[in-house]
Structure 1
Amino acid sequence: MRTEVYTDDGRRLEVEVSGDPQGSPVFLLHGTPGSRLGPAPRPMLLYHQRVRLVTYDRPGYGRSDRLPGRQIAHVSKDVAAIANALSIERFAVVGSSGGGPHALACAALLPDRVTRVAVLVSLAPRDADGLDWFAGMAASNVHEYLQVLAGPEQLADSLRKRSIDIRTDPRKLLAQLRRELTESDLRVVADAGIRAMLLRNYREALSVSADGWVDDALSFCAPWGFSLADISMPVLLWHGEQDVFAPVSHTRWLAERIPGGRAVLHPRAAHFASLRVLPDVVTWLLGGRSRLAADRG
Structure 2
Amino acid sequence: MIAQRNVVLDDGRILSTYDSAPGTPQAFTVIWHHGSPQTGALLDPLVSATASRGIRIISYGRPSYGGSTPLPGRSVASAAGDVAQVADALGVGRFASMGASGGGPHALACAALLPDRVASVCCLAGIAPLTAEFDWFDGMVAPGGLRAAIDGRTARAQFAEIDEFDPRSFIQIDYDTLEDPWSSLGRDAMRAGDGGPDGLIDDDVAFVSPWGFDLSQVRVPALFVQGGMDRIVPAAHGRWQTHATSHGELWLRPRDGHISVLNASFLALDWLQANAN
Tell me if TM exceeds 0.5: yes
Q: Does 1:60 align with 2:49?
A: no
Partner of 2:199: 212
Query: What letter corresponds to residue 133 of structure 1 in structure 2?
Result: W
Shift of 1:218: 0.3
Which region of structure 1 is more displaced relative to structure 2, 114-123 or 20-29? 20-29
Q: Does 1:149 align with 2:150?
A: yes
Unpaired runs of 5+ residues, structure 1, are 163-172, 289-297
Change in 2 beyond 3 A, CA 1:208/1:187: closer
Q: When the two structures are aligned, how many residues end up with a matched partner?
A: 271
2: distance between equivalents of 1:21 and 1:238?
31
Shift of 1:42: 4.7
Query: What letter corresponds to residue 179 of structure 2 in structure 1?
Result: A
- 1:143-162: CA deviations, max 9, x gaps? 11121134422321332565
2: distance between equivalents of 1:159 and 1:231?
33
2: distance between equivalents of 1:95 and 1:234?
14
Shift of 1:41: 2.8
Partner of 1:51: 55
1: distance between equivalents of 2:213 and 2:168?
35
Q: Does 1:237 align with 2:224?
A: yes
Unpaired runs of 5+ residues, structure 2, are none
SS at match of 1:41: helix
Shift of 1:20: 7.5
Over the aligned positions, Cα root-mean-square deviation in angstroms equals 1.9
Conserved in 1, the CA contact under 8 Å of 2:178 and 2:186?
no
Partner of 2:84: 80
Partner of 1:263: 250
Partner of 2:236: 249
Identity %: 35
Change in 2 beyond 3 A, CA 1:207/1:85: farther
Partner of 1:166: none
Partner of 1:203: 190
1: distance between equivalents of 2:251 and 2:148?
32
Shift of 1:232: 1.3
Shift of 1:18: 1.3
Instruction: Tell me which of 9, 12, 20 is aligned to 1:18.
Output: 20
Q: Does 1:185 align with 2:174?
A: yes
Q: Does 1:123 align with 2:123?
A: no
1: distance between equivalents of 2:219 and 2:232?
28
TM-score (norm 2): 0.91
1: distance between equivalents of 2:80 and 2:209?
17
TM-score (norm 1): 0.86
Conserved in 2, the CA contact under 8 Å of 1:71 and 1:223?
yes
Q: Does 1:5 align with 2:14?
A: no
Conserved in 2, the CA contact under 8 Å of 1:156 and 1:214?
yes
Shift of 1:4: 0.7
SS at match of 2:77: helix
Change in 2 beyond 3 A, CA 1:42/1:110: closer
